[in-house]
Structure 1
């Protein structure tokens, strides 16, 4: 993989049924709301380099609890709030330039999926004596 490919901006959508979708990301303030098909979107800073976007109206709209996203969030927070509806992961928010959020690299997006898969599956470990 070339350095240009590694830096391509992506966003990772996690649906409530566990479906993951890696999409191209355009860093604008409306991109998250457009991706989540909602009017009111809220960023949740998870780390200095990772932001999760949620639909502010997911509960009034009757959207289900996002269990797959909760499993990913356990890696970043001890006490994660319950989030409903699909969520979107991007890079850090660029407040200095007021340009929205940076995209994820392909490696960052795949790491999020790997964290979900390894936390969701009970992988047998080698026994120690």
Structure 2
């Protein structure tokens, strides 16, 4: 059955070189995979659920294929949850999923807040090992 949602949202692309770009996230699910693969520039994509309303999409083989460390994506993850690994390759942030499992776009406010967090977050201090 075709998707009949009409609301279009946004996705935030965070590149490994620190650049970011706001993309349109169409309501039509038919375009989602195409957008994900093109934005992340990869052949295998993985969804990392950060919160119920925030998903990060990354190259599933980024650690293995010599993709560059994505400090911005790693930082955005760490600001929401305890960090368990660094992330490599370009990352695309979308909203969560609806009741049917369809990936939602970010609202304008969510996208704006994510950009603000990205631009204003400092370096995460390392644990002190000496006193």
Contact 2:15 2:89 in 1 (8 A): yes
Higher relative contact order, chain-length normalized (CA < 8 Å, sep 6+): 1
List alignment gaps of at least 5 residues for structure 2: 1-6, 124-131
Structure 1 SS opposite 2:96: coil
Contact 1:12 1:21 in 2 (8 A): yes
Structure 1 SS opposite 2:104: coil
Contact 1:73 1:80 in 2 (8 A): no
RMSD, aligned CA = 1.9
- Mean Cα displacement is larger for which, 30-39 or 53-62? 30-39
List alignment gaps of at least 5 residues for structure 1: 1-6, 122-129
Aligned length: 113
Alpha-carbon distance in structure 2 between the residues aligned to 1:54 and 1:117: 20
34, 46, 56: which one aligns with 1:52: 56
Runs ≥4 in structure 1, deviation > 4 angstroms? none
What is the TM-score when the length of structure 1 is the normalising length? 0.77
What is the TM-score when the length of structure 2 is the normalising length? 0.76
